[in-house]
Amino acid sequence: MHIAPETGHQHRKVVTRQVQEDEMSTGDSVLWQDYPELLGRIFRNRGVCDTAELRYPLKSLLRPEGFRDGEAATDLLCSAIRSGQHIVIVGDYDVDGATATALGMRVMPRLGASRVSYLVPDRFRYGYGLSQEIVGEILGLDPDLVVTVDNGISSMDGVAALKKHGKGVLITDHHLPGPNLPDADAIINPNQSGCEFPGKNLSGVGVLFYLLSMVRERLVAGDWFVEQGIKVPNLAQYMDLVALGTVADMVPLDYNNRILVSHGIHRIRSGKCCPGILALLEIAGRDHKRVIASDLGFAVAPRLNAAGRLENISTGIACLLADSGDEARKHAATLDEINVRRKSIESEMQSRALEIATEVQGGRNLAEDPTAIRKGFCLHDPTWHLGVTGLVASRIREKTGQPAIVFADAGVDTLTGSARSIPGLHIRDLLELLAVHDPELIIRFGGHAMAAGLTIQRSKLEPLRQKFGELVSTYFESHGSPESIVTDGLLTEKDLTLKNAEEIREAAPWGQGFPAPTFHGIFRVLKRKVVGRYHLKLELSLNGQGRPVDAVAFRALEAGQEAPEMEWIEAVYQLDCNIFKGRANLQILVEHFWLQDPPC
């Protein structure tokens, strides 16, 4: 039995973001008079008080002052460049790490570095980041300076081993640090204690972008480029990579990150970006001239991530480093093939995970039964693929509204898991609390508020499951359950227009922390059919009185499931523009739906 899509009468509460119009001053009204009414409401719902926050000039980027170790890191990298040292970049096997690695490989030579190499750990042999196990591979490259990107903040043993061999180590990372820091020569991480740089939401590639900006300024001030007879690089030319990594890593799109993403998208739309991104968009069937942030997150990122999940992210990095369209297309085709395999593996794992989750709840359907015990899930199956656990954990969270940890075998005696949480429950802090209470429970862990990774002894799975469940149950007891779905309210028939869909699409980089507008309403279902095994194609009428509108609910079904009988639904949805054979049409993207009794 599968946990069904949210199609029952018991569903999560839908809450409307509310603008207090009576609190708006006359000046506020004038400020928004040039914006369409719907857009103005949407932006005010997200706390935008000044329309200047919707303009993204590069001059408004935060200055790099305030980074702890900023001067030391700049000195270290400048010295390595000036003296011709061998710089080895140690990356990570996700999109953030891949884009950061590609950024370093593209920019450092243009800053005058004569020897730059990169190495990304094989997740199946060495695990995450600058582990002690990967040090031998690094030493084999004979580096003078090792620069980590998107990792390293918890790599005490790896850094110590490199320092023992006399290697310089510069860490750039954005993950939350633990109580102790590695003994590196310098650490650039906006989230470490004592760092006064205000942009705490930078991705890994964003952190490296700032370091390279500081190095560029220092080298300009020291007449390095004049001495070498080389052109000063314009780092804005590489914002396509920064935008891709920022969106893919789902860091909050605060104003500073929206500037980075906005300029990156502009470069991609103009075709002035790395051929690899263009090739990946092309093979995904996306028009680069109309690309938006969600295209990077749902079309480009999964193909790059697939390589890191199933094989080696080096194929993805090679695609991002390709200098010709033909070379980039070859890599993109390989990545697309890997992604197809990833989807098949993920589908099988998800089906089994949902079966286990339902069994854990005594067969209760968590999407429909509010009395089901809510204590999160720690799931494991010996056949599961280590590289896909994060995707499966996300699916369990989406289906159940509960945090989930999905484990796969990582050795004879160890399991490695990916954890995904719900808003309000900081998953890394929860893992740290578990580790403090029982230091033998978790071998290592790290991550963010919403996502984390951990490794445990196989024998510790049941104790971890029990203690994790206790903490999650306590959270739900004090915060209530299930979580609410927040929307931008109801729309009328006159609001359901292609014009509004286009204006919303072009209005801003939408993403984590600055969500794309969603609405809710009651619809009559005029037509329904299954497409692509997992998706529902619908024709809807708002309140049963509006004109028919095309709609699609992606991943609403399990493989082989038929379209459910339904005449009326309550839906949470987005407005979208669907282009078919060169013609644009309004389309509704259904994110959640529930069966609804006919209105009286």
Answer whether the bond into residue 423 is a cis peptide, omega within 30°: no
State the chain's mean pLDDT as an integer.
90
| Across 275-288, average pLDDT | 97
**What's the gap between Cα 91 and its chain centre?**
17
- Predicted confidence at residue 596, as pLDDT, reads 86
Average pLDDT over residues 370-390: 84
- Whole-number pLDDT of residue 25: 45
How far is residue 195's CA from residue 62's CA, in Å, rounded to a whole number?
A: 14
Q: What per-residue confidence (pLDDT) applies to 372?
A: 56
Provide the whole-model pTM.
Answer: 0.89
**Per-residue pLDDT at 20:** 46
DSSP of 112-130, one letter per residue?
Answer: T-SEEEEE---TTTT-SSS
pLDDT at 216: 98
At 7 the pLDDT is 41
Identify the pLDDT of residue 585: 92
pLDDT at residue number 129? 78
Is residue 285 over pLDDT 80?
A: yes
State how far the alpha carbon of 501 is from the alpha carbons of 40, 258, 294, 570, in Å. 14, 20, 14, 20
Report pLDDT for 27: 44
pLDDT at 465 over 50: yes
* pLDDT > 90? residue 323: yes
CB neighbourhood size of 406 (10 A): 29
**Percentage with pLDDT > 90 across the chain:** 70
Return the pLDDT at 555: 83
Structural contact between residues 195 and 176, judged by C-beta atoms closer than 8 angstroms? no
Q: What is the average per-residue pLDDT within 48-72?
A: 93
List b or e across 474-508, with b for residues whose CB sees 16 or more CB atoms inside 10 angstroms.
Answer: ebbeeeeebbebbbbbebeeeebeeebbebbbebb
Q: What is the pLDDT of residues 549-582, one digit of tens each?
A: 999 999 888 777 888 889 999 999 999 998 887 8
Give the CA distances from residue 326 to residues 37, 267, 280, 300, in Å, rounded to whole numbers and listed in that order.
46, 20, 12, 17
- Token code pair at residue 38: 């719907």
Tell me the C-alpha distance between 124 and 373, whole Å. 35
Residue 594 pLDDT > 80: yes
Partners of 552 in the β-ladder: 537, 589
- Decide the pairing of beta strands 414-420 and 549-553: unpaired
Residue 365 main-chain phi, psi, to 5 deg: -85, 105
* For residue 154, pLDDT beyond 50: yes
What is the distance, to the nearest Å, from the Cα of residue 426 to the centroid of all Cα atoms in its chain? Answer: 16
Sheet harboring 145-149: ordered strands across?
Answer: 115-119, 86-90, 145-149, 168-172, 186-188
pLDDT at residue 480, as a whole number: 65
**By the 8 A CB rule, do 304 and 295 touch?**
no
Of the pLDDT bands very low, low, confident and very high (cuts 50, 70, 90), residue 475 is confident
Task: Tell me: pLDDT of 320 over 90.
Answer: yes
Torsion of CA 251, 256, 262, 268, to 10 degrees: -70
- Are 296 and 247 contacting, i.e. CB atoms less than 8 angstroms apart? yes
The DSSP element (H or E) to which 359 belongs, if any, is helix 325-360
| Inter-residue contact 385 to 472 (CB < 8 Å) | no
Across residues 484-489, what is the average pLDDT? 88
How large is the average pLDDT for residues 440-467? 91
**Which of 3-7, 239-243, 507-511 has the weakest average pLDDT?**
3-7
Q: Which of 554, 551, 483, 490 is nearest to 519 (CA)?
A: 490
The whole-number average pLDDT for the span 450-454 is 90
Q: How far apart are CA 294 and CA 224, in angstroms?
A: 40
If one counts every other C-beta atom within 10 angstroms of the C-beta of residue 333, the result is: 14
**pLDDT tens digit string along 392-450?**
999 899 888 889 999 999 988 999 999 999 888 899 999 999 999 899 999 988 888 88
Give the integer Cα–Cα distance in Å for 314 and 92: 10
Q: In angstroms, how far is CA 289 from the centroid of its own chain?
A: 23
How far does Cα 422 stand from its chain's mean position?
A: 14
CA dist 122 and 525 (Å) reads 48
Q: What is the DSSP string of 241-262?
A: HHHHHHHHTT----HHHHHHHH
Contact at 8 Å (CB) between 21 and 32?
Answer: no
Among the listed residues 95, 13, 90, the one whose alpha carbon sits nearest the alpha carbon of residue 370 = 13
Distance (Å, rounded) from C-alpha 78 to C-alpha 172?
Answer: 15
pLDDT digits over 78-90, tens only? 999 999 999 999 9
| Structure tokens given for 207 | 């952190």
Q: How far apart are CA 259 and CA 533, in angstroms?
A: 38
* H or E element that contains 97: helix 95-110
Q: What domains sit in the chain, N to C, each tagged with a CATH number?
A: 14-53+486-595 (2.40.50.460), 62-265 (3.90.1640.30), 274-358 (no CATH), 371-481 (3.10.310.30)
Looking at 107-111, 396-400, 486-490, which range is the least confident one? 396-400
Question: At a CB cut-off of 8 Å and minimum separation 6, what does 52 contact?
Answer: none
- Cα-trace Rg, the chain: 25
Max Cα–Cα distance, the chain, nearest Å: 80
pLDDT of residue 16: 80
Compute the distance between CA of residue 368 and CA of residue 470 in angstroms, rounded to an integer: 23
Residue 546: pLDDT over 60: yes
Helix or strand run (H / E) with residue 70: helix 70-82
Q: Which residues are within 8 A (CB) of 378 and not within 5 positions of it... i.e. 6 or more apart? A: 404, 405, 407, 417, 461, 464, 465, 468, 469
Q: Which DSSP state fits 196?
A: -
Residues 585, 322: Cα–Cα separation, whole Å: 35
The residue type found at 319 is C
Q: CB of 277 within 8 A of CB of 320?
A: yes
Q: How far apart are CA 515 and CA 332, in angstroms?
A: 29
CA angle 362, 366, 368 (to 5 degrees): 120
Q: Is 371's pLDDT higher than 60?
A: no
Please compute the mean of the pLDDT values over residues 21-36 and round it to a whole number: 58
